[in-house]
Structure 1
Amino acid sequence: MVVVRIAIIGAGGVGGYFGAQLAANGEDVVFVARGAHGAAIREHGLVVTSDVHPQHLENVTVVEHPEDIGEADLVVVAVKLWDTDDVAKRLVPLIAAGASIVSLQNGVLKDDVLRRHVSAAGVFGGACYISAFIERPGVIAHHGAMQRIVVGEYDHSRSARVVDFVERCKAAGIDADVSDDIERVLWEKYVFLVGMSALTSATRLPIGPIRSNPLARRLLGEVMGEVLEVGRARGVDLDPGLVDERLAFVDTVAPTMTASMANDLAEGRRLELPWLSGGVVDLADQLGVDAPVNRTIAGLLAPFVDGQPA
């Protein structure tokens, strides 16, 4: 393969895990990471604990700011959603110079934010499926076996850049694929993610006891059902049976799995709630759709949205 430079913006659970796999396979990867985590990676390397692909990269290229990247062929955005607007502004020179950009963040409106600042042609869609968190500075903990990336062009074409990225991911041991309808993929993930984040956060429990309790499982399905209806009202081609399919998928994941928002809640950190259940409520209001369960979840967790209340 031709050597390309891949910039990973955010070396948390998502960026740290997938970036480490690509770097371990010989790809030219530069991480953007700040604070204690970035300092630990710079001094001691990047560690990924995983039952699937553990890594310890001793020599890691890491910078503090997107402006320090230099050149890149592909930019992978993996920061928290509230940082998207700021990051997009700072990536303008890289994208103008010909780099492509793909976001592996949560939510369904992330690429709309990117396209406010960079050329729409420079952006292709991406979704990832993984349970991974920063365990301590310099260490990423991957839980379970799930680690998957799906990418695709919004014009439904099978471009060389998405095929190339998937091939590089597969060579690095990442489960990856190209989708011909990436918007639908993003909404299918959103249905699952909003349900997982809502229930594991509201109950402070992993998915195992939630899925095995009839009342909690029913609530999980209701949260997902509201997301499905909002997506369909928005014009996304979502199968009416998607909720049942997503609930069946929930039964296959590790019982200890939690959403990243639940982990952030437990650690007293800021929450992506405004883009998850809160985002569903906002879209539902715009579209004239009811979303009472997500509205309740958003209200219950609202006091924690900026971190642990004083």
Structure 2
Amino acid sequence: MKIGIIGAGAIGSLFGGLLAENGNDVWLYNRRKEHVQVLKEKGLTIVSAEGRRTIPVKATTKPQDMGILDLAVILVKFPDTEKALEDVAGNLGRDTLVMTLQNGLGNVEKIMKKVERHRVIAGVTSHGSTLLAPGEIYHAGKGPTYLGALEETSVSRVQEVVDLFNRSGIDTKLSDNIIKMLWKKLVANVGINPLTALTGLPNGKLLFYPELADIMRGAVEETVRVAEAKGIDLELEDPFAYVASVCRATAENKSSMLQDVLNRRPTEIDAINGAVVREAEKLSEEVPFNRVLTNLVKVLERRYLEGSCSSSI
């Protein structure tokens, strides 16, 4: 199976490296030339609590180098999904599976505008990764990955991918309700990502501050309430305890949103807390914690992207 990692940043490089390390035919595609150059010349260096290792990988900034893929794993940021699909349109054959392991809500819908529903795989992962330097990542946290088909007829093909991931040392399970898993991951993201982005703290340090824990609890409880109103039972006895456990399991990780802020890139706030706000509005629900967090991150993002503090009021 020829695999293309579309968006080989921190988490994309991690998955691409783990798959390549176990003998799979994998390409890492990224538009950042410096990162790709190091990957091509020196390989991918993965730093973790267990030590440091370097894995030879194939990497490119040119989609045409990859040829037709059997599996395209979309791991770009939410704002870049449409552009990434345009970039790799020539790599998607009639039978190519397209998988998203991206954060938040809305990516599946974007992909289905370009790819038939039966070829789309939705997924979530608990792995945490930080880009330390071009060609070098820190594997900050491990956990299960869940993949699910959007149509019953595609389950057997998704199972093939699950099996391939497991053979590559990536703990992966087939989910029969991947929408629930997307919302469960969202519950963790709404409580962790914006607070790390606004404070600069790694995941585990959020729990050291009662004030942040209160905000986290509010955003999490609102998200669960919206999910329940949509008929999605997340089966979380204590949602805040669940998110706190994620913080501890990925204590040293800098969330993807914090990494975006530190690198002055657009964030995925619209796919995370912003998505909760949009879904709540459809249901005439109030979600003040998520709305405020969305607005604060948007202001922070706008300041460094636009370089201006001029008033629009």
Report Cα offsets for 1:195-248 as digits up to 9, x if no partner.
110221222222333213333212211111111122223332323635144235
Change (3 A) 1:182 1:242: farther
Report Cα offsets for 1:13-64 as digits up to 9, x if no partner.
1110011011010001011122211122122221111235854123x22221
Q: Distance in 2 between matches of 1:136 and 1:111?
A: 30
TM-score by length of 1: 0.90
- Structure 2 residue 283 is matched with structure 1 residue 278: no
Q: Which moved more, 1:77-86 or 1:146-155?
A: 146-155
1:227 maps to: 223
- Which residue identity does 2:128 align to in structure 1? S
Q: Is the 8 A contact 2:122 2:147 kept in 1?
A: yes
Q: Is the 8 A contact 1:200 1:206 kept in 2?
A: yes
Aligned partner of 1:108 among 105, 110, 119:
105
Q: Distance in 2 between matches of 1:71 and 1:158?
A: 20
Match runs of 1:51-90 below 5 Å:
51=49, 54-58=52-56, 60-90=57-87
Q: Distance in 2 between matches of 1:157 and 1:177?
A: 18
Q: Distance in 1 between matches of 2:153 and 2:227?
A: 22
Change (3 A) 1:53 1:13: farther
Secondary structure at the counterpart of residue 7 of structure 1 = strand
1:174 maps to: 170
Secondary structure at the counterpart of residue 70 of structure 1 = coil
- Which residue identity does 1:119 align to in structure 2? E
2:310 maps to: none
1:124 maps to: 121
Secondary structure at the counterpart of residue 108 of structure 1 = coil
TM-score by length of 2: 0.89
Report Cα offsets for 1:71-95 as digits up to 9, x if no partner.
2111111111111012223444444
Q: Which moved more, 1:193-202 or 1:181-190?
A: 193-202
Q: Distance in 1 between matches of 2:253 and 2:183?
A: 21
- Structure 2 residue 59 is matched with structure 1 residue 36: no
Change (3 A) 1:11 1:239: same
Q: Is the 8 A contact 2:68 2:92 kept in 1?
A: no
Matched-pair identity in %: 29
Q: Is the 8 A contact 2:229 2:283 kept in 1?
A: yes
Deviation for aligned residue 1:307? 6.6
Q: Distance in 2 between matches of 1:293 and 1:194?
A: 10
- Structure 2 residue 149 is matched with structure 1 residue 153: yes
1:206 maps to: 202
Q: Distance in 2 between matches of 1:84 and 1:143?
A: 25
2:181 maps to: 185
The runs of 5 or more residues in structure 1 that have no matched partner are: none
Aligned partner of 2:46 among 45, 48, 59:
48
Match runs of 1:218-297 below 5 Å:
218-239=214-235, 241=237, 243-250=239-246, 252-297=248-293
Deviation for aligned residue 1:121? 1.1
1:134 maps to: 131
- Which residue identity does 1:85 align to in structure 2? E
Q: Distance in 2 between matches of 1:186 and 1:283?
A: 14
Q: Distance in 2 between matches of 1:99 and 1:47?
A: 29
- Structure 2 residue 13 is matched with structure 1 residue 25: no
Aligned partner of 1:9 among 6, 10, 25:
6
Deviation for aligned residue 1:8? 0.8
Deviation for aligned residue 1:157? 6.6
Q: Distance in 2 between matches of 1:251 and 1:190?
A: 14
Change (3 A) 1:69 1:94: same
Report Cα offsets for 1:168-194 as digits up to 9, x if no partner.
212222121111111100100001011
Q: How many residues align?
A: 305
- Structure 2 residue 212 is matched with structure 1 residue 216: yes
Q: Which moved more, 1:16-25 or 1:170-179?
A: 170-179
Change (3 A) 1:133 1:188: same
Q: Distance in 2 between matches of 1:91 and 1:121?
A: 19
Secondary structure at the counterpart of residue 127 of structure 2 = strand
Q: Distance in 2 between matches of 1:280 and 1:119?
A: 26
